[in-house]
Structure 1
Amino acid sequence: MKSLPYFCRGEVIRGFGRGSKELGIPTANFPDSVVDNLPADISTGIYYGWACVGNGDVYKMVMSIGWNPYYKNTKKSMETHVIHTFKEDFYGEILSVVMVGYIRPERSYDSLVEALITAINNDIEEAKAKLELPEHLKLRKDNFFTSAPSSSSAAPSPAASTSQTIMNGH
């Protein structure tokens, strides 16, 4: 995929509420405006990379892009699991991510939520290992993260709260 690494940023919105409640794996969801701007060569599937909430620290992440066949979604989504335990939800905050690699295609799970949870946990372990590679570690320090706007530094106008920045490279 020539678009990787892919940098994007957007406001965290409420998703379906399944990641935390059903799977015990919380995810941050991007609005449709971010999903709709993905380059054509970024296919559905599981990706890994780096993520930052607001002006906070940069953590490893794993992201699902797709239709979530298990749940039979009709709209494509981007769901980011930041590999860090946060004390509280961060809806409305700005999430900045850099997708650096691809793990696997999206799969459907006929029933067992346990199979899906196992697959996600395997994806997380693979992401943790791959992000230790020097070419991926350097992206953790990318100035994209230090230039992240903070959604809590000013009261956004309604127009500002729906804006996002999409970047491929810099």
Structure 2
Amino acid sequence: MAAQAPAPAPPNAPMAPISRGNRPTIVGPDQPEDPYPIKLEGTVTKGFGRGARFLGIPTANLPDTSLDELNELNMTGIYYGFARIHPSNSTPLPSTYPTPIHSDEKIWPMVMSVGWNPYFKNEKITAEVHIMHPFKADFYGHHMSVIILGYIRPELDYVSKEALIEDIQTDVKVALNGLARPEYAKYAEDPFLTKDRV
């Protein structure tokens, strides 16, 4: 039996400049270009819990088995697109919203970090999705579908937590600006997202 290849070691990410205030507010062409869109789906798994607790930016993790198509790009960094959390086995998502409309189950813009998260010194690659919607409860075990429409930037290391948070907040603005373009916005109605999972 052949020996298993060792897991890849995390590369040394460049340190972000102290000031990142001059970043562009929109990236990419006016419509998605090859290899996008990339469609991923899987059951939301427990991560490190750092997004919400440490950064105030909650994330949902996709399992490793969902990332084959993305791994083929061999490009870590920050991506953007749309995502949806589907009810599990027709059970509504836990929510404290007073309205009968299940807004938690709608399609929302997202930014997605794929890589080693050098600030936290991860020892394995993860895919963490920040959905731009104020969910009121966790949704571990629910099905998540994601359409990636573009790439924002490579992974960076940071001198402080505050610098990391500031860059993520800029990522969110860049993603929203990009997704407002008509050829991107139409993917919010893609059957891959709108179709309910059983």
TM-score range normalised by the length of the shorter chain: 0.7 to 0.9
Structure 1 residue aligned with 2:62: 30
Structure 2 SS opposite 1:121: helix
Q: Could you tell me the TM-score, scaled by structure 2's length? A: 0.72
> What are the residue-to-residue correspondences of 1:16-165 with 2, within 5 Å?
16-41=48-73, 43-54=75-86, 56-110=105-159, 112-150=160-198
Flag the structure with higher strand content: 1
If you compute each CA radius of gyration, which structure gives the higher value, 1 or 2? 2
Structure 1 pair 94–32 and aligned structure 2 pair: CA distance change class (3 A): same
The count of corresponding residues between Structure 1 and Structure 2 is 149
**Large movers: runs of 4+ above 2 Å:** 35-39
Structure 2 SS opposite 1:47: strand
Q: Is the 8 Å Cα contact of residues 38 and 69 (structure 2) preserved in structure 1?
A: no
Structure 1 pair 7–36 and aligned structure 2 pair: CA distance change class (3 A): closer
Q: Is the 8 Å Cα contact of residues 116 and 123 (structure 2) preserved in structure 1?
A: yes
Alignment of 1:7 onto 2:56: no
Fraction of identical pairs, as percent? 47
Structure 1 stretches of 5 or more lacking a match?
151-170
**Residue type of the alignment partner of 1:8:** L
Over aligned residues, Cα RMSD in angstroms?
1.4
